[in-house]
Structure 1
Amino acid sequence: MKTPLMLLTLALGLSSCSLFQSNKPLDVVVLGLNDFHGNLVPTGFSGIKVPAPTAANPAATANLTAGGAEIIGGYVASSRAANANTVLVGGGDLIGASPVISSLLRDEPSVIALSKMGMAVSSLGNHEFDQGLKELLRMQNGGCDSNDMTKACKFDPAYPGASFKWLGANVTDKTSGKPVFAPYQIVTTPGGARIAFVGAVTKTTPTIVSPSGVATLNFLDEADSVNKYIPEIKAQNPDAIIMLIHEGGAAKDTYNVAGCNSLMGNIIDIAKRVDPAVNAIISGHTHQGYNCVVPDPAGGSRVVIQGDFYGHLLQRLDLSVDTANHKLLSIKAANVVMDASAATTITRDATQTGIVAKARSLTDAVKNTVVGKISVPQILRANNDAGESALGDVIADSQLAATSGATTGNAVIALMNPGGIRADLPDSTNIKEGGSVNFGDAFTVQPFGNTLTTLTLTGAQLKAVLEQQFDNPAAGQNRILQPSAGLTYTWTASAATGSKVSDLKLGGVNIVPTTAYRVTANNFLADGGDGFTVFKDGTDRLVQPNLGDIDAFQAYLKANTVAPGPQNRITKK
């Protein structure tokens, strides 16, 4: 029987309509979270100031309160409600160097919170390795066989592990040469888009974590390692490829300037060498907010973006993809403020509220223990032009005070690495009447659990340590150690590497190259961390496993009403 012409025409029309719809571009939202560091509750975001009037100063302003699991989870949920093709990913350092609410529970509530948000994948970060490979694998896979049973499985007696996968294309086993974590993963969205995510962590990881925890691992060149897997990824016909990397830079432009071209730092070389098939790069590590464009090897350009730290910003990539022909049609990038103030328009996520409440109930008693007072509302970690911070001075002084006795080291100098100072004292969200400081405030400043080591350096070695501040810059910046009271010197920016430090004195007396000086540092620094390898040449080491940096800090706060450090110990020419 013949098909009526009208029905044939209708059938062709439906077929054409169906074909047209299958080729219609699909909108995909990728949300990136970098350097969360277990910050389940909001903290101060210095990128935005808001009115904070007081009777004494009606015109005062304060940092906006931003981040926290409830706000981040709420934004992710709202994005999924508007577009089911929303993918949440991480840029590394999701855990480690965390405040009390997470660290006292071995960061398990943070992993569970991110899993409940539906995070799909994350690059590894250096802080994921803070407790060693075995513990990181437990964080990934679950269970209670931890190297700290006092903290593990206290939040959930059957800790399930992360539902998302950590990726590390450049992390291999030294014996087998094989990747220890998946190099990449292709995520399929509800609408059928297939987005490939390939991950890497800074190759400097062995110099910025405890060496024993990563002794069996290689951390290879980031770009070379990612490029190795691009042909394999392309063979699977993804609709877009996004690189997640825990390495970054800094930009002169602020987080909300789209398409900036002022980016500098290690990420530039990596971005310029990564295969042009990679459509965008979500970065981390340097705790900066930027939304920049960097040239690719084919003469084009691509987005390189980072979202500050502690969840203050989410990186948002709005993609339009052609799923029939497996290609990216367009991309738009932005950093979105996770406003946690009373005026926020983001609805807090109820599931995250429950997780945060439970974690608080298990940690608040320890966190809220008062340990001392400060003479001002807040002591800041921000550096002056010479690289010295008020809080850095105070921490160095606390370590000197703890180790200057005959039985504790006879130290005459203490040096503190700036990367170990993680927050102001207290954070702007926790300022209390009368300058009171609690354990949570102090721990948030120094959350690593490092112990103190006192060793002997000659005056020449001490100068060599200080010269290394300018020989291992990260993200275009020097790494200035924070000195204890009495140690002073000048550094000259224009001088040659190795000859920048001059007028080095202790108590106003010139440091003598051949004289021995007892110097205290935390165990990470004393073992050559952050590139300060001269420390490893120190002699007569007094390792004090029962004297932690946080113990010294608490004791100093308890014994003194602490004032901000003077920031006059380092002079820059």
Structure 2
Amino acid sequence: MNFSLPVFGRLTRTTISFSLSLMLLACATPKTEPVVLNLVAINDLHGHIEKEKFSYTPRGEKTAKTLVGGGIETLGANLAAWRKEDKDLIFVGGGDLIGASPAISSLFADEPTLHALGRMGLRVSALGNHEFDHGLQELQRQIHGGCESPRPDRACKFDGRFPGTQFSYIASNVLSKQTQKPFFPAYHVEEVKGVKIAFIGAVLRDTPFMVAGDKVKDLSFIDEAEGINRTIPVLKEMGVKVFVVLIHEGVSSPDVFDQFACSQIKGPIVDIVKRLDPAIKLIVSGHSHTGFVCNVEGRTVTQAQMYGHLLTRISIKLDATNHQVMDIQAKNMVMEPNSAPAPEELSNLLHKAREGSKAIIAEPVAKLAVPVITRKLNPAGESPLGNIVADAQLAAVKDMGAQIAFMNNKGIRSNLETLAGNISTYGQNATVLPFGNTLVLMSLTGAQIRGLLEQQVWLDEESQDGRNVLQVSDGFTYIWDAKRKVGERVIPDSVKLNGIALDDQREYRIVANNFIAGGGDRVAMFLQGKNVIDTGIKDIDVFMSYIKAHDQAGTPVGSDKPVGRVKRIN
């Protein structure tokens, strides 16, 4: 069949044929628009599912702002709004999503928090040290589901059942001692917008110092960068082009939370990032409860503070052809309630948790002498609340021979607050000591006690803020000098019990919680103790009994300042 092209004005057949060729060529040419992957990151939620008061200082301002925000309703509303902008948004975590939680979550073995994160669409999270607080058996139950638990009084009490997490927990550097292979999945791969993106998990190598030793006795924690880098060849073989590290390890930074590409950071993660495979361009961190978006040798490192006060929005721009990372933008967003309605399923979940825990949380325990007993440390490393916790522990086992109590400040998780009339409730007390640690008795010589004090102040060599100094009980006093060299900072003759200098050769009976008694918080001298007895008595029980007894005796506990058992010069 013959046909001829008509002529339009001055256009010839040749011109029209060329034009059609260009049109066909344009249709065959691949899209050149970059691919944009959107992430949102959270870290260190610690079961804070309710709104709460917190303060922050925005970039460029000198005055802090205070608001009531965060909580799963606020988080869920923001995530829902952002998903309207991009339905493929990926929600990820940097660890410590549970553990050391308020009573509304901890009373139910953190199952409300895990339920909520699943309903918010969390896809994957690094493991944090606090995920191991109640041991490997409990962590596996929380991940895989079931009611067989070392906490039968709490497990499955929220719903009558627990199906496990709806997201993946990952850790490339946690190995089984038996097999020397990753005990948990090392990575999680998502395919979004035609792009394979791998999330590689890691938890700080020092996790065994952060939890009671028997909780992780079957696991090895290797170097974070080594564990992460091991996964890259396997992931590349799978066709992965984009690599994101989710790591529970952090830094400190003097920059404000919303400063873009800050460079003034220091801490363990800096060295880790510098040793990562060059293919890794984005690191989402946790652990240090700091908000920042920083640049480390061309890589973006983020953290969203803690307790759901912030979320980090991250945009990764990729070359459309090769899926190479062209640009990364990240910003920490304050979780201020807005006009967007909270997802109904999250509101219902929160209501159920409130109703289920209300009677226990609201139960009055004791009247205090002041409205708030703070855990804030003075320059020597002593706090008013630390004084009382140590005194309570000594009083509980004094008839068993205890002479001195030691308490790690990091184990005191919040101030002890009160309601009207300075009445503290069970919920407020449980937030102070949420771990359910037990009291352990042991014998140490005077020389070993001085060595223990040297170990704790050595840990402050970099921070110089006293935050690692142990809280001590009434009658025990000493002085330390921050300018002296390591190993000689405690003034020997100043270490006294009831005004009498400790005898290096004499044994003293001391009490500490099972976490530090097992070498936690790097104070290894406790491991040299003799005649060790785990009493099984829980720290929160003796604490509440102590403040209740004082209230009933007409001498409520509490003060605005520490009493001066620990003194510091320089």
* TM-score normalised by length of structure 1: 0.89
C-alpha deviations, 1:471-504, integer Å up to 9, x for none? Answer: 4469856521112222222222222211111122
Quote how far apart the aligned CAs of 1:353 are.
0.9
The answer for unaligned runs of 5 or more in structure 1 is 50-59, 296-300
| SS class of match (2:416) | coil
Cα gap change, 1:254/1:484 in structure 2, threshold over 3 Å: closer, same or farther?
farther
Residue type of the alignment partner of 1:182: P
CA distance in 2, matches of 1:557, 1:155: 29
Residue type of the alignment partner of 2:114: V
CA distance in 1, matches of 2:362, 2:28: 62
Moved over 6 A (4+): 1-5
CA distance in 1, matches of 2:540, 2:158: 23
Mapped contact 2:382–2:562 kept (Cα < 8 A): no
Quote how far apart the aligned CAs of 1:15 are.
5.9
Match of 1:455 among 430, 434, 442: 442
Residue type of the alignment partner of 1:467: E
Alignment partner of 1:372 is 2:366: yes
Alignment partner of 1:417 is 2:408: yes
Mapped contact 1:317–1:332 kept (Cα < 8 A): yes
CA distance in 1, matches of 2:345, 2:116: 8
Cα gap change, 1:254/1:509 in structure 2, threshold over 3 Å: closer, same or farther?
farther
| Farther off after superposition, 487-496 or 518-527 | 487-496
CA distance in 2, matches of 1:195, 1:468: 43
Residue type of the alignment partner of 2:547: L
CA distance in 2, matches of 1:441, 1:421: 12
Mapped contact 1:266–1:475 kept (Cα < 8 A): no
Quote how far apart the aligned CAs of 1:7 are.
8.9
CA distance in 2, matches of 1:140, 1:524: 24
Q: Equivalent residue for 1:562? A: 557
Q: Equivalent residue for 1:553? A: 543
CA distance in 2, matches of 1:440, 1:318: 39
Quote how far apart the aligned CAs of 1:10 are.
5.8
CA distance in 2, matches of 1:219, 1:61: 39
Alignment partner of 1:188 is 2:210: no
| SS class of match (2:261) | strand
CA distance in 1, matches of 2:241, 2:87: 17
| SS class of match (1:260) | coil
Cα gap change, 1:383/1:9 in structure 2, threshold over 3 Å: closer, same or farther?
farther
CA distance in 1, matches of 2:249, 2:64: 32
CA distance in 2, matches of 1:175, 1:421: 34
Alignment partner of 1:88 is 2:78: no
Q: Equivalent residue for 1:328? A: 325
| SS class of match (2:447) | helix
Q: Equivalent residue for 1:302? A: 299
Q: Equivalent residue for 2:342? A: 348
Mapped contact 2:439–2:534 kept (Cα < 8 A): yes
Cα gap change, 1:351/1:17 in structure 2, threshold over 3 Å: closer, same or farther?
farther
C-alpha deviations, 1:99-129, integer Å up to 9, x for none? Answer: 2111111111111110111111100111111
Quote how far apart the aligned CAs of 1:567 are.
5.0
CA distance in 2, matches of 1:447, 1:315: 27
Q: Identity over the aligned pairs, expressed in percent?
A: 41
Any residues of structure 2 matched to 1:17-96 within 5 Å, and which?
A: 19=29, 22-47=31-56, 63-96=66-99
| SS class of match (1:251) | coil
Residue type of the alignment partner of 1:554: M
Cα gap change, 1:329/1:490 in structure 2, threshold over 3 Å: closer, same or farther?
same
Any residues of structure 2 matched to 1:428-447 within 5 Å, and which?
A: 432-447=419-434
Cα gap change, 1:112/1:483 in structure 2, threshold over 3 Å: closer, same or farther?
same
CA distance in 2, matches of 1:248, 1:178: 25
CA distance in 1, matches of 2:17, 2:42: 53
| Farther off after superposition, 63-72 or 275-284 | 63-72
Q: Equivalent residue for 1:398? A: 392
C-alpha deviations, 1:187-219, integer Å up to 9, x for none? Answer: 123x33432211001111112212222221111
CA distance in 2, matches of 1:320, 1:94: 28
CA distance in 2, matches of 1:187, 1:470: 45
CA distance in 2, matches of 1:170, 1:475: 26
Mapped contact 2:213–2:515 kept (Cα < 8 A): no
| SS class of match (1:281) | strand
Residue type of the alignment partner of 1:16: A
Quote how far apart the aligned CAs of 1:323 are.
4.0
Residue type of the alignment partner of 1:138: R
Structure with max Cα Rg? 2
Q: Equivalent residue for 2:174? A: 171
Mapped contact 2:57–2:64 kept (Cα < 8 A): no
Mapped contact 1:316–1:336 kept (Cα < 8 A): yes
Q: Equivalent residue for 1:532? A: 523
C-alpha deviations, 1:341-369, integer Å up to 9, x for none? Answer: xxx45542322111111112221111111
CA distance in 2, matches of 1:322, 1:567: 62
Mapped contact 1:391–1:425 kept (Cα < 8 A): yes
Q: Equivalent residue for 2:26? A: 16
CA distance in 2, matches of 1:528, 1:390: 25
Q: Equivalent residue for 2:215? A: 213
Match of 1:98 among 85, 101, 116: 101
Q: Equivalent residue for 1:387? A: 381
| Farther off after superposition, 78-87 or 111-120 | 78-87
CA distance in 1, matches of 2:355, 2:23: 62
Residue type of the alignment partner of 1:516: E
The answer for unaligned runs of 5 or more in structure 2 is 6-12, 551-555
* TM-score normalised by length of structure 2: 0.90
CA distance in 2, matches of 1:3, 1:496: 97
Match of 1:468 among 444, 455, 468: 455
Residue type of the alignment partner of 1:89: V
